[in-house]
């Protein structure tokens, strides 16, 4: 394959330059070799031969990390689609052979008038390719997609306009997002490019974006736009021609630079005529020009973008890591609102490698209760966390990082032996509360003495979970009795913890629930427990004074109908293998997909080899 031959030759040339003492030229050749795979349009991981050569070159390049710092940016960590990713439209849009459309004289005349009146701040050129793309984007199914993109742009237009102006770039360039991603923060392409501006991971990191297991700022609309502007400015300083800049953004600056060395006096259109750029790049610039023409005046083409509130937020400092659900409860705002404002957070959790995190919250949300988060121990801001093993990690280091015993981590992940070997990329489930069946419970910040029935005054370090454990009253009952809107407590608050039975209630069968007990395990759900015990969900809820929205926690004892007592068992963990599906895993362990997704906080159905899934009992 020409791709593999070209990549190998470039890599060998880089090694030659390194031997000759020219690290700058060597780095350019190495990066060109690696870039070639992503800009080829070939789904690298789906082609065994291509992927094998890519891994070989990537592995060889690590030997030069100290001499070539940029090479160190290449990493597979974080370079995969998330569960809620959507397919980027760019390949479908620019990869085909479009049949040229006759130029509509009326449209051509209107555009020429716009150019004469300087409506655009970006150089617009009209030819059959551009008109063809205008026709392509405004008819058929593509019209529906463009309409969706223009609706999304309404929310970001104010943000994009401000950033492009501050960075000194043509504001009309904002419309190239219509071709790249249709303005979706979740867009992911087969070239492993992500976000509104479709950065591949190493380019994103090069321009200051964090891309790893926890955070992927390629999905952040503000930070990624800043990075895209810096990248475009650097390309313009190199090529001094906006069409060549766009070509380099699409196919890599190395490819465009090499072409210009071969044909230094040709412009973009002449280079395209000689077919010196890939077909998708030859289509890319006309598609961008069409997108600018449509985006500047959508009503002319029959589009009516829906009104939307601009993308605005306030930033607050919160302790990290913290589950966004905890923050949502404290702010009394929907979890989805926080996720929309913070799309860079991949795990619904702020990253654990920093003490605090600047979280975006709705402008109108009150933040008074967020200060109380700093008083909560980590185990009450999170119940468990996924830790991807990195070079240098061991169980002792991980246990110190999260304040969890080594025994708890080993038990929870079924790790055998005294000193189990950890693999780089392996994902460990780290319990952050007393939920491991064989682990010695670590100390709670709150006193351990039982709480007597009556009125209780909240002390410093108290949490709802700790009070529930010491009083024997479920968290949901404490919240209901005391009209608590969230799990946050204030020092000095009075809580009603009177020892009175829950009112008798009837299940769906009309019979009262009789006593029995069940100890909740990590990953349990109310519905799963009801199935396990052979009781209806309504009966189980009635027996414990719970609702369908109530939360349960590991170690909590539930009263179950029928007098049955089920002993707690260790959680089962499944390591995802290539080809695994949620349906297949659910069938294998005799559970259902919804319980599996709930136990692992999955929002979609995408799985990754090596990922560890908790199997609900």
Return the HEC string of 289-355.
HHHHHHHHCHHHHCCCCCCCCCCCCEEEEEECCCEHHHHHHHHCCCHHHHHHHCCCECCCECCCCCC
> Distances in Å between the alpha carbon of 72 and those of 59, 63, 559?
11, 10, 55
402 and 433 belong to one structural domain: yes
- CA dist., res. 46 & res. 111, Å (int): 43
Whether residue 136 is found in the same domain as residue 283: yes
Same domain, 263 and 133: yes
Asked if 30 contacts 74 with a C-beta cutoff of 8 angstroms, the reply is no
**Domain boundary residue among 273, 301, 329?**
301
pLDDT of res. 185: 94
- Where a domain ends, among 301, 330, 353? 301
Cβ neighbours for 272, distance < 8 A, ≥ 6 positions apart: 282
Q: Decide the pairing of beta strands 517-519 and 557-559.
A: antiparallel
pLDDT of residue 68: 60
Predicted confidence at residue 48, as pLDDT, reads: 74
3-state secondary structure string across 476-517: HHHHHHCCCCCCCCCCCCEEEECCCCCCCCECCCCCECCCCE
CB 241 within 8 A of CB 271: no
DSSP 169-221: --GGGGGGHHHHTTT-TTEE-TTS-BTTTTB-HHHHHHTT--BSSSBBGGG-H
Can you state the angle between helices 128-137 and 279-296, rounded to 10 degrees?
70
Taking 50 as the pLDDT cut, the residues of the chain under it are 72-77, 434-448, 502-515, 563-570
Q: 521 lies in a domain?
A: no
How far apart are the C-alpha atoms of 287 and 282, rounded to whole Å?
Answer: 9
Residue 375 lies in a domain: no
CA end-to-end distance (rounded Å), the chain: 50
Task: Give the end of a domain, one of 260, 285, 301.
Answer: 301
Instruction: Report DSSP state, residue 71.
Output: G
Closest CA to 520 of 587, 434, 447, 440: 434
Domain count, the chain: 5
Domain region containing 410: 383-438
Query: Distance between CA 516 and CA 557 in Å, rounded?
Result: 10
**Calpha distance 242→596 (Å, rounded):** 50
Q: What are the structure tokens assigned to 284, written together?
A: 């890319």
Task: Let me know if residue 578 belongs to a domain.
Answer: yes
- Residue 110 lies inside a defined structural domain of this protein: yes
Residue 475 lies in a domain: yes
What's residue 241's pLDDT?
A: 95
Of 577, 517, 507, whose CA–CA distance to 542 is shortest?
507
Same domain, 115 and 8: no
Checking DSSP bridges between strand 86-87 and strand 427-431, what pairing results, if any? Answer: unpaired
- Position 239 scores a pLDDT of 94
Strand 612-615 with 572-575, pairing: antiparallel
Tell me whether residue 333 is in a domain.
no
Is residue 360 helix, strand or coil? strand
Cβ 60 vs Cβ 152: under 8 Å: no
Partnered with residue 386 across adjacent β-strands are 429
92 and 40 together in one domain: no
Asked if residue 418 and residue 290 are part of one domain, the reply reads no
Q: What angle do CA 272, 112, 156 make, to 5 degrees?
A: 80
Residue 22 and residue 56 share a domain:
yes
Q: Are residues 387 and 491 in the same domain?
A: no
Q: What CA–CA distances, in Å, run from 345 to 249, 314, 577? A: 26, 16, 25
Q: How many residues does the chain have?
A: 617
What DSSP string describes 426-449? Answer: -EEEEE-SS--TTSPPPPPSS--S
Verify that 100 and 218 share a domain, yes or no: yes
Q: What is the pLDDT of residue 434?
A: 38
| Shared-domain flag, residues 94 and 189 | yes
92 shares a domain with 57: no
CATH number at residue 458: 3.10.350.10
Q: Is the preceding omega at residue 52 within 30 degrees of 0, hence cis? A: no
Instruction: Determine the Cα–Cα distance for residues 52 and 72; give it in Å rounded to an integer.
Output: 19
Taking CA atoms, 193 is separated from 110, 206, 289, in Å, by 35, 14, 21
Backbone angles phi, psi at 303, to 5 degrees: -90, 145
CA angle 239, 242, 246 (to 5 degrees): 90
3-class secondary-structure state, position 572: strand
> Within a domain: residue 510?
no
Q: Does 588 fall in a domain? A: yes
Domain shared by 266 and 404, yes or no: no
Name the token pair of 19.
């031997």
């Amino acid at each position: 394959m020409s791709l593999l031959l070209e990549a190998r030759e470039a890599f060998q040339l880089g090694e030659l330059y390194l031997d000759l003492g020219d690290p700058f030229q060597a780095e350019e050749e190495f990066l060109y070799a690696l870039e070639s795979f992503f800009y080829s349009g070939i789904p690298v991981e789906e082609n065994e031969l291509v992927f094998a050569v890519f891994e070989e070159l990537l592995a060889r390049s690590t030997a030069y990390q100290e001499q070539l710092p940029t090479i160190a940016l290449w990493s597979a960590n974080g370079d995969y689609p998330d569960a809620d990713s959507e397919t980027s439209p760019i390949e479908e849009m620019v990869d085909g052979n479009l049949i040229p459309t006759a130029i509509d004289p009326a449209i051509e005349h209107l555009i020429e008038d716009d150019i004469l009146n300087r409506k655009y701040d970006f150089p617009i050129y009209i030819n059959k390719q551009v008109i063809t793309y205008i026709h392509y984007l405004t008819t058929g199914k593509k019209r529906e997609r463009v309409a969706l993109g223009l609706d999304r742009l309404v929310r970001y237009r104010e943000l994009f306009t401000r950033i492009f102006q501050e960075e000194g770039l043509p504001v009309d360039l904002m419309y190239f997002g219509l071709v790249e991603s249709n303005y979706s923060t979740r867009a992911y392409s087969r070239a492993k490019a992500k976000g509104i501006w479709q950065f591949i991971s190493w380019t994103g990191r090069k321009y200051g974006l964090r891309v790893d297991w926890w955070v992927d700022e390629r999905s952040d609309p503000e930070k990624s736009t800043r990075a895209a502007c810096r990248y475009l400015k650097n390309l313009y300083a190199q090529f001094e021609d906006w069409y060549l800049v766009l070509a380099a953004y699409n196919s890599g600056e190395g490819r465009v630079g090499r072409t210009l060395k071969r044909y230094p006096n040709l412009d973009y259109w002449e280079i395209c005529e000689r077919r010196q750029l890939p077909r998708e790049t030859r289509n890319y610039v006309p598609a961008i020009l069409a997108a600018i023409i449509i985006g500047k005046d959508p009503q002319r083409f029959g589009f009516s973008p829906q009104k939307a509130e601009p993308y605005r937020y306030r930033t607050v400092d919160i302790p990290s890591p913290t589950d966004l659900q905890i923050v949502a409860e404290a702010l009394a705002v929907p979890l989805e609102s926080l996720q929309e404002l913070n799309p860079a957070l991949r795990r619904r959790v702020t990253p654990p490698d920093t003490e605090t995190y600047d979280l975006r919250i709705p402008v109108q949300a009150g933040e008074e209760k967020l200060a109380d988060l700093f008083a909560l121990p980590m185990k009450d801001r999170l119940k468990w966390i996924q830790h991807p093993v990195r070079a240098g990690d061991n169980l002792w280091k991980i246990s110190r990082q999260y304040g969890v015993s080594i025994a708890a981590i080993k038990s929870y992940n079924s790790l055998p032996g005294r000193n189990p070997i950890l693999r780089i990329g392996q994902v460990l489930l780290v319990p952050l509360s007393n939920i491991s069946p064989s682990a010695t419970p670590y100390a709670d910040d709150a006193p351990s003495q039982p709480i007597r029935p009556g009125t209780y005054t909240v002390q410093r370090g108290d949490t709802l979970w700790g009070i529930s454990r010491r009083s024997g009253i479920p968290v949901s009952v404490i919240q209901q009795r005391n009209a608590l809107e969230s799990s946050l407590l204030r020092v000095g608050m009075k809580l009603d913890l009177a020892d009175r039975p829950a009112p008798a209630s009837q299940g769906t069968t009309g019979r009262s629930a009789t006593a029995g007990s069940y100890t909740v395990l990590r990953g349990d759900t109310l519905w799963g427990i009801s199935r396990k015990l052979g009781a209806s969900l309504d009966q189980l809820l009635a027996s414990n004074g719970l609702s369908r929205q109530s939360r349960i926690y590991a170690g909590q004892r539930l009263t179950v109908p029928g007098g049955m007592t089920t002993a707690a068992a260790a959680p089962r963990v499944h390591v995802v293998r290539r080809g695994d599906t949620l349906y297949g895993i659910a069938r294998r362990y005799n559970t259902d997909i919804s319980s599996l997704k709930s136990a692992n906080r999955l929002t979609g159905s995408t799985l990754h080899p090596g990922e560890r899934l908790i199997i609900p009992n």
